[in-house]
Amino acid sequence: MDAGFVNAYLAAAQNVFKTMVQLDVVMGKPVLKKDKHTSGEVTGVIGFAGDKKGTFSLSFSKKGAIFIYKKMVDEDAPGVTSDVVDAIGELTNIISGQTRVHIEKLGYKLSAALPTVVVGQNVEINFITKVPVISLPFAFQAGSGPEHLFLDFSFE
């Protein structure tokens, strides 16, 4: 795995959250996941093909996802509604697009599928690849306290 991939996701995530959500996200220590389950409770998933194949997911707690939705459209949601699910899907799509721009600079052309969103804990995701999944944890302030999101990806 090219270390540039981590940097691509870091740059894309920080730019997208700053621009679309007006939120600073701070990356913690990357980890190699021991399983292929969702890291949070509301998770956007998108597949890639092209010079590399792989999968990327963007995962929040329910509270984090609701907070992000409110920040994006300035509307409250009573829970993880279809609107919240839609917002996480779109964020997944935007981060995917930005990341592909950075990865293109590394010499790889990728195309992406439409994102899907799964709601639930420990949902198994088919990451397609046989190599380990890298998880990038990010912290952010969500009103009453700190929250986390996870960018998980695997390319080969």
Partner 1 sequence: MKTLVVDDFATMRKIVKNVLRQIDITNVTEAENGRQALDILKKDGDFELIVSDWIMPEMTGIEFLKACKDDDSVKKIPFVMVTAEAQKDSVIEAIKGGVDNYIVKPFTPDKLQEAIQKAVARSRSQQ
Binding site for partner 1 (CB under 8 A): 15-16, 18-20, 69, 72-75, 83, 86-87, 89-90, 93-94, 96-98, 100-101, 104, 109, 112, 114
Please, are residues 25 and 136 in contact by the beta-carbon 8 Å criterion? no
For the bound state, the minimum distance from the C-beta of residue 74 to partner 1, rounded and expressed in Å, comes to 7
Give whichever of 76 and 130 is closer to partner 1, judged by the CB atom.
76
Q: Which is nearer to partner 1, 26 or 131 (CB)?
A: 26
**17 or 150: whose CB is closer to partner 1?**
17
Tell me how far apart the alpha carbons of residues 15 and 30 are, in angstroms, rounded to a whole number.
19
Contact present, 117 and 96 (Cβ < 8 Å): no
Q: Which residues, other chains included, contact 64 with Cβ-Cβ below 8 Å and sequence gap of 6+? A: 40, 42, 140, 142, 147, 148, 149
Tell me the C-alpha distance between 60 and 116, whole Å: 14
In three-state secondary structure terms, 132 is: coil
Least gap, CB of 132 to partner 1 (angstroms): 27
CB of 32 to partner 1, least distance (A): 28
Which is nearer to partner 1, 91 or 134 (by Cβ)?
Answer: 91
| CA-closest candidate to residue 23, choices 156, 150, 145, 139 | 139
Question: Which residue lies nearer to partner 1 by CB, 33 or 70?
Answer: 70
- Shortest Cβ 97–partner 1 spacing (Å): 3
Nearest distance from C-beta of residue 80 to partner 1, angstroms: 14
